[in-house]
Every structure is written in C-alpha cells, then in structure tokens.
C-alpha cells in the first residue's frame, strides 16, 4: 500500500434531517481537506439518521439517487474520497443499511451491511456481498457496527486484499469511555489477527428518535496498537496517517502475519447456519 492520510468524523446525525446532515457533512469535509486528508469517513447512516422503526422508510432512497449524488459532488469539489452512509431502497422496496464510496471520478461502490442486529432484522434486509475498494494505492473494506463482532468478515476482507477496514458505527448508549473500552476489546483483535489498519467512528448526541450516541473515533495499526483516538464525545474530525511501513512491519514478518498460515480445511464447521442447541 501507499501512505494514506485519513479523517474519521464523529457527527450528530438527526433522523430525517437529510439536508441538515448534508450541510454539516460538507463542513467536516472542508475541515478534512484543510487537514490534508486523502479520504474522509463518516458514521453509519450519517446522511439519513439511524432508526429501527418503520419511519426510516420515509428517508430511504435508491443508489444512485439525490443523496449519493450530492456526496459525489462533494468528492469532486474536494478531490477526496468520501465514505458516507444512508438507508438504501431497491426496486423491490426492500431497504438496506448501506455505505457508499465516492471519489473525484464518481460513485466507486456500495456496501450493504451483512450482519444485522436482532432489532435491525425486523426492518432491514441484509447484504450478501463482501467487497473491497481502492483508493490511492490502498485496498480497503467496510464494516458497519454490528458487522465488527464477526471475526470471519474481517478475515475474509483481508484475504480479498484489504489493508484497511473502516468500521463505521451508529452505536448508541453508554458513555464515550465505556464505548472506547468496548471497541478496544474486539477491534484490536480484528487489526492484530488480520494485519490490517482499523479506522472506526461513531455518531454522537441525540438523534431525534430517542437514541443517544457516545461519539468516539479510533485508529489502530496492523499490530493492534492505537495510533489516534477521539474520546471526548463531541463532534469532531480525527486525523491519522496510515503508513505503508507499519503494514510492512507486520506482513513482511513470518511470525507477525498470521493469514498465510491458515488451514481452511480445518474450518468447515464455520459454515453451519446455526449454533448447536
């Protein structure tokens, strides 16, 4: 990979206030650009707001659509890559928790959340595709909130070539300190076991739908070490330099990079659909 400067945004995202969310997103993009970032990522569902109630259908839209096109225009104007979230509606009126990748050349791709929490399963459909994307000599994947609790997904993305995984959250409840401790328990493992950078950020504040989010952001290197963090609970932009040398430090050492020594033939039991009763 090449060196990459990223910006991870902690942002209040009010349900249904799409124009206001866009306006405040644009301001953060300007801040990220001024800070020299090549890529800026936003929390899960930052454009539409987050809800597990049927009211969320009123702000769902197809991709491409007005919201995704507005993000593409921001990417063109800023010259940066932008990762942004919205509720996607398909031609069959199904809705998905989706995140788009937009660059100066246009819409690069869409990720639909694959692992839905028990509450989300009542409203959304799960995605069925795990994809990697490219930006300035780097390959990355996206996971959305509940996705991050499934180690197999991170390993699959790493096997597909991901050097960075963006873990973008709409994770409510608790204090920023408690959320920080929670993330360090599992996100550190995702980085260390797979030899990848992890970039995580969350919504913050009241979302107008009865939920309160503890805003934090965190960046881990492929050794599982914290290289940048924002734990104030306030809105803001966290910058981090993802260095190719830090990736090479892990992946060019036979004892630090574990994936080449996997034995997939032993793991056939992982494809069972349910945990044994």
Task: Give the tens place of pLDDT for each residue, 115-128.
Answer: 999 999 999 999 99
**In a domain? residue 161:** yes
What is the distance, to the nearest Å, from the Cα of residue 4 to the centroid of all Cα atoms in its chain?
A: 16
Q: What is the average per-residue pLDDT within 161-179?
A: 98
Q: What percent of the chain has pLDDT over 90?
A: 96
Report the C-alpha dihedral over residues 10, 16, 21, 23, rounded to 10 degrees: -170
Which residues touch 244 (CB under 8 Å, ≥6 apart)?
Answer: 1, 2, 3
Give 272's pLDDT tier (boundaries 50, 70, 90). Answer: confident
**In a domain? residue 123:** yes
Give 208's pLDDT tier (boundaries 50, 70, 90). Answer: very high
**In a domain? residue 45:** yes
Which tokens in the block code for residue 70?
Answer: 């507005």
Q: What is the average per-residue pLDDT within 207-226?
A: 98
Bridge partners of 106? 103
Cα separation of 254 and 136, whole Å? Answer: 27
**In a domain? residue 276:** no
Reduce the DSSP state of residue 103 to 3 states and report it.
strand
Is residue 143 pLDDT above 80, yes or no? yes
Is residue 226 pLDDT above 70, yes or no? yes
Cα separation of 216 and 198, whole Å? Answer: 14
Average model confidence (pLDDT) across the chain? 97
What is the distance, to the nearest Å, from the Cα of residue 137 to the centroid of all Cα atoms in its chain?
A: 19
Number of domain units in the chain: 1
Q: What is the average per-residue pLDDT within 234-242?
A: 98
Residue-range definition of the domain harbouring residue 81: 4-261
Instruction: Give which of 94, 182, 175 is closest to 146, Cα–Cα.
Output: 182
Cα separation of 87 and 63, whole Å? Answer: 9
Is residue 275 pLDDT above 80, yes or no? no
- Triad 15, 61, 24: Cα angle to 5°: 45
**In a domain? residue 273:** no
Is residue 277 pLDDT above 60, yes or no? no
Q: What percent of the chain has pLDDT over 70?
A: 98
CATH number, residue 240: 3.60.110.10
Whole-prediction pTM value? 0.97
């Amino acid at each position: 990979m090449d060196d990459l400067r990223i910006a991870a945004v902690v942002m209040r995202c009010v349900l249904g206030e799409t124009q206001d969310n866009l306006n405040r997103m644009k301001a953060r993009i300007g801040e990220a650009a001024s800070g020299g970032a090549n890529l800026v990522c936003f929390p899960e569902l930052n454009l539409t707001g987050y809800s597990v109630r049927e009211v969320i259908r009123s702000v769902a839209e197809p991709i491409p659509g007005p919201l995704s096109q507005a993000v593409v225009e921001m990417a063109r104007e800023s010259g940066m890559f932008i990762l942004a979230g919205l509720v996607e509606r398909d031609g069959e009126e199904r809705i998905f928790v989706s995140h788009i990748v937009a660059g100066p050349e246009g819409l690069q791709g869409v990720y639909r959340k694959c692992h839905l929490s028990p509450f989300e399963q009542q409203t959304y459909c799960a995605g069925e595709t795990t994809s990697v994307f490219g930006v300035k000599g780097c390959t990355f994947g996206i996971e959305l909130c509940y996705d991050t609790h499934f180690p197999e997904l991170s390993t699959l993305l790493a096997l597909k070539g991901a050097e960075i995984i963006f873990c973008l959250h709409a994770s409510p409840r608790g204090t920023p300190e408690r959320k920080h401790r929670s993330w360090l328990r599992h996100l550190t493992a995702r980085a260390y076991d797979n030899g990848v950078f992890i970039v995580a950020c969350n919504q913050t504040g009241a979302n107008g739908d009865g939920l309160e989010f503890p805003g934090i952001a965190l960046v881990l290197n492929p050794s599982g070490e914290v290289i940048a963090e924002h734990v104030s609970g306030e809105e803001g932009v966290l910058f981090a330099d993802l260095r190719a040398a830090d990736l090479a430090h892990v992946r060019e050492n036979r004892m630090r990079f574990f994936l080449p020594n996997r034995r997939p033939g032993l793991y056939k039991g992982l494809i069972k659909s349910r945990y044994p009763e």
